[in-house]
Chains A and B, each alone.
Chain A
Amino acid sequence: AQKITQTQPGMFVQEKEAVTLDCTYDTSDPSYGLFWYKQPSSGEMIFLIYQGSYDQQNATEGRYSLNFQKARKSANLVISASQLGDSAMYFCAMREVNNAGNMLTFGGGTRLMVKP
Chain B
Amino acid sequence: TAGITQAPTSQILAAGRSMTLRCTQDMRHNAMYWYRQDLGLGLRLIHYSNTAGTTGKGEVPDGYSVSRANTDDFPLTLASAVPSQTSVYFCASSPSPTTDTQYFGPGTRLTVL
Q: What residues of chain A have their CB less than 8 Å away from a CB belonging to chain B?
A: 4, 33, 35, 37, 43-47, 50, 52, 91, 93, 95, 97, 100-104, 106-109
Chain B 68-102 against A: per-residue CB contact (8 Å), 1 yes, 0 no? 00000000000000000000101010100111111
Does B110 touch A at the CB level, under 8 Å? no
Contact between chains at A95 and B100 (CB < 8 Å): yes
Do most interface residues of chain A lie in helix, strand or loop, or is the interface mixed? strand
| A43 partner, pick from B41, B59, B88, beta carbons under 8 A | B88
- Knowing A35-B101, A43-B88, the reply to whether A106 touches B42 (Cβ < 8 A) is yes
Chain B residues positioned under 8 Å from A107 (CB to CB): 42
Contact between chains at A44 and B106 (CB < 8 Å): yes
Q: What residues of chain B have their CB less than 8 Å away from a CB belonging to chain A?
A: 31, 33, 35, 40-45, 48, 50, 56-59, 88, 90, 92, 94, 97-107, 109
Interface centre among A93, A104, A109 (most CB of B within 10 A): A104
Contact between chains at B50 and A101 (CB < 8 Å): yes
Chain B residues positioned under 8 Å from A37 (CB to CB): 104
Determine the residue in chain B with the shortest Cβ distance to A34: B100
A91 to B97: give the CA distance in the assembly, Å. Answer: 21
State how many angstroms separate the Cβ of B2 from the closest Cβ of chain A. 13
Chain A residues positioned under 8 Å from B40 (CB to CB): 108-109
Chain A residues positioned under 8 Å from B44 (CB to CB): 106
Contact between chains at A101 and B42 (CB < 8 Å): no
Chain A residues positioned under 8 Å from B107 (CB to CB): 43-45
Contact between chains at B42 and A93 (CB < 8 Å): yes
Chain B residues positioned under 8 Å from A101 (CB to CB): 31, 33, 45, 48, 50, 56, 58, 97
- Knowing A43-B88, A102-B31, the reply to whether A4 touches B101 (Cβ < 8 A) is no
Contact between chains at A103 and B45 (CB < 8 Å): yes
Chain A residues positioned under 8 Å from B33 (CB to CB): 101-103
| A45 partner, pick from B41, B45, B90, B100, beta carbons under 8 A | B90
